[in-house]
């Protein structure tokens, strides 16, 4: 069987590169906010420099105390990180390289190493034009926020209401409810729900009313939680009880997925604050039990440990109510993105969502998607060539269809599907 780099009637590699570069995508998990959220909308060079990924990398060189760093104004923190990670050392890590890409893609010559000039450029930008440009360059049609009623800065904006930019979709984040019930029930009580410490049927009913109210208020597209490595299900503790009796019935009634992100060890080093979380190997029995005992519920799952990725793909082969997504956080590096994307394509095919950005600073969208698209394209080209060697040449239209599925189509189908 003759095989070549330019098979059939078109150049396969160019067709894949074109499809991956040009297909507009959903970004199904970010920490970004609609610009209506004011100060919660983070953008610009100083926010990029104080991103918690860079804070943890910079502290490996700093000899100052954590507290003395945190006491500094943000621009001073940014200046210290710039000096350490970009001037005194080459910005070669993925998070540092990402900042370079984000600025370069917007036409800035960051190689001049002129931080004041970068600050001046950002100060001159019109925010709304900038938002349009970043979404256009990144080919992002919709991004999903992380919205928590337990966030005291965010909640009042929802309660007041605002003019919505439809490119920003909402996801209801419920970590405190599931993982800190002793505090959560008191907050719900303050907000007018008749809750108490015991998960009696009436209290469960009030939790469901809370989920209903917030799902409607923010038009949540899914519910989400991040879970420790040892999360158990079924279980008699509040997390397991609340998932079983409130969250899953709510999601089923609303035909919405429950997104579970497994394997995070919160604040392993609390002095690093947001940068202090770490990773642990997940006991996937909880996920197996959830998928098997709730076949009509839909689950979006991503795992934080590289070592859990193979098991997660096998779970997806066993349970159609599981949709695997993203190279999350510590796996969002080229080594893992390539390995995980290849693993998923080879084990599950196209019914996955290979990437989300997890962006916290708006400008990061450009680098997170630019870097990932290149890697996804590389893997897809190899797989289409493997397919060709087996005797099947994918047409350009078929490649475009497949890529549209990976960049939001499979997610949309999963969201709309009823099991």
To the nearest 10°, report the CA torsion of 34, 38, 41, 45. 140
User: Considering the complex, what minimum distance in angstroms separates the CB of residue 364 from Zn ion?
Assistant: 12
- As a whole number of angstroms, the distance between CA 48 and CA 105 comes to 14
Greatest distance between any 2 Cα atoms in the chain: 71
CB closer to ligand HDL, 208 vs 360: 360
Our CB check for ligand HDL shows the closer of 191 and 329 to be: 329
Burial of 116 (0-12, 13-18, 19+ CB in 10 A): exposed
Closest C-alpha to 59, from 236, 269, 239, 333: 269
Selection from Zn ion, ligand HDL, none that 274 binds (CB < 5 to 8 A by kind) is: ligand HDL
Quote the least distance from Cβ 366 to ligand HDL, whole Å. Answer: 16
Measured from the CB atom, the residue of 7 and 302 that comes closer to ligand HDL is 302
Is 27 or 358 the residue whose CB approaches Zn ion more closely? 358
Name the one range near Zn ion by CB under 5 A: 3-11, 168-176, 275-283, 356-364.
Answer: 356-364
Whole-angstrom CA distances from 363 to 102, 119, 252, 366 are 6, 14, 35, 6
Q: Which does 360 bind (CB under 5 to 8 A by kind): Zn ion, ligand HDL, none?
A: ligand HDL
Binding site for ligand HDL (CB under 6 A): 31, 146, 226, 261, 274, 277, 329, 358, 360
* Cα 328 to Cα 277: distance, rounded to the nearest angstrom: 13
* Shortest distance in whole angstroms from residue 123 CB to ligand HDL: 26
Q: Are the C-beta atoms of 288 and 321 separated by less than 8 Å?
A: no
Locus of tokens 């202090």: 276
Please work out the total of residues on this chain that contact Zn ion, with binding judged by CB under 5 A: 1
CA distances from 6 to 3, 22, 102, 371, 399 (A): 8, 20, 32, 25, 15
Output the six-digit token pair for 13: 């590699």
Contacts of 314 (CB under 8 A, 6+ apart): 347
Shorter beta-carbon distance to ligand HDL: residue 85 or 304: 304
Any idea which residue has 């009436």 for tokens? 202
Specify the residue, 13 or 27, whose C-beta has the smaller distance to Zn ion: 27
Q: Is 175 in the site for Zn ion (CB under 5 A)?
A: no
Q: Which of 339, 358, 363, 402 binds Zn ion (CB under 5 A)?
A: 358
Least Å distance, CB 232 to Zn ion, is: 22
Q: CB-wise, 175 or 388, nearer to Zn ion?
A: 175
Q: Which is nearer to ligand HDL, 29 or 250 (CB)?
A: 29
Q: How far is the CB of 187 from Zn ion (least distance, A)?
A: 22
Q: Which is nearer to ligand HDL, 173 or 385 (CB)?
A: 173
Choices 150-158, 228-236, 352-360, 389-397 (CB under 5 A): range interacting with Zn ion: 352-360
Structure tokens at 255: 């035909």
Report strand pairing: 264-265 vs 278-279: antiparallel
Strand-pair category, 258-262 with 168-173 = unpaired
**226: partner contacted, choices Zn ion, ligand HDL, none (Cβ within 5-8 A by kind):** ligand HDL
Instruction: Determine contact, residues 269/52, Cβ cutoff 8 Å.
Output: no
Give burial (CB, 10 Å; 0-12/13-18/19+) of 39: exposed
Q: How far apart are CA 265 and CA 243, in angstroms?
A: 20
Q: How far is the CB of 3 from ligand HDL (least distance, A)?
A: 40
Q: Choose from ligand HDL, Zn ion, none: what does 273 bind? Cβ within 5-8 Å by kind.
A: none
Partner whose footprint covers residue 167, from Zn ion, ligand HDL, none (CB < 5 to 8 Å by kind): none
Burial 206-218 (b: 16+ CB within 10 A, else e): bbbbbbeebbebb
Written as one string, the DSSP assignment of 341-355 is: HHHHHHHHTTSSB--
Span near Zn ion by CB under 5 A; candidates 65-73, 198-206, 317-325, 351-359: 351-359
**Among ligand HDL, Zn ion, none, residue 7 binds (CB under 5-8 Å by kind):** none
Residue 303 Cβ vs ligand HDL, minimum distance, rounded to whole Å: 12
CB of residue 95 vs ligand HDL: minimum separation in angstroms? 10
Q: Which is nearer to ligand HDL, 35 or 263 (CB)?
A: 263
**Binds 204: which of Zn ion, ligand HDL, none (CB < 5-8 Å by kind):** none
Minimum gap (Å) between residue 229 Cβ and ligand HDL:
14
Angle at 368 between CA 416 and CA 53, to 5 degrees: 115
Shortest separation between residue 16's beta carbon and ligand HDL, angstroms: 28
In the complex, the residues that contact Zn ion under the rule CB under 5 A are 358
């Amino acid at each position: 069987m003759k095989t070549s780099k330019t098979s059939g009637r078109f150049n396969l590699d160019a067709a894949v590169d074109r499809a991956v570069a040009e297909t507009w995508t959903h970004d199904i998990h970010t920490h970004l906010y609609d610009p209506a959220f004011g100060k919660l909308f983070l953008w610009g060079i100083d926010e990029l420099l104080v991103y918690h990924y860079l804070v943890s990398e910079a502290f490996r060189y700093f000899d100052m105390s954590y507290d003395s760093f945190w006491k500094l104004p943000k621009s001073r923190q940014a200046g210290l990180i710039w000096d350490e990670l970009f001037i005194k050392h080459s910005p070669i890590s993925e998070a540092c390289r990402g900042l370079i890409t984000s600025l370069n893609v917007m036409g800035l010559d960051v190689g001049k190493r002129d931080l004041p000039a970068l600050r001046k450029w950002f100060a001159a930008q019109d925010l709304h034009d900038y938002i349009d440009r970043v979404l256009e360059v990144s080919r992002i049609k919709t991004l999903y926020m992380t919205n928590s009623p337990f966030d005291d800065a965010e909640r009042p904006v929802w309660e007041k209401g605002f003019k919505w930019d439809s490119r920003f979709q909402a996801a209801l984040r419920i970590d405190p409810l599931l993982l800190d019930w002793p505090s959560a029930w008191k907050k719900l009580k303050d907000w007018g729900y008749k809750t108490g410490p015991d998960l009696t049927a009436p209290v469960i009913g009030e939790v469901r009313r809370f989920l209903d109210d917030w799902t409607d208020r923010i038009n949540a597209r899914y519910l989400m939680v991040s879970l420790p490595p040892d999360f158990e299900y079924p279980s008699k503790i509040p997390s397991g009880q609340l998932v079983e009796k409130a969250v899953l019935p709510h999601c089923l009634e609303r035909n919405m997925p429950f997104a579970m992100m497994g394997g995070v060890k919160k604040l392993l080093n609390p002095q690093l604050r947001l940068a202090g979380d770490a990773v642990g190997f997940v006991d996937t029995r909880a996920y197996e039990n959830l998928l098997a005992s709730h076949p009509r519920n839909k689950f979006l799952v991503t795992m934080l440990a590289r070592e859990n990725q193979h098991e997660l793909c096998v779970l997806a082969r066993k349970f159609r109510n599981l949709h695997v997504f993203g190279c999350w956080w510590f796996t969002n590096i080229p080594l893992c993105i390539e390995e995980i994307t290849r693993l998923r394509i080879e084990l599950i095919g196209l019914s996955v969502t290979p990437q989300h950005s997890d962006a916290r600073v708006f400008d990061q969208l450009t680098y997170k998607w630019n870097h990932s698209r290149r890697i996804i394209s590389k893997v897809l080209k190899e797989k289409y060539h493997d397919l060709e060697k087996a005797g099947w040449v994918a047409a350009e239209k078929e490649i475009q269809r497949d890529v549209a599925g990976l960049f939001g189509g499979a997610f949309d189908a999963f969201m709309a599907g009823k099991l």
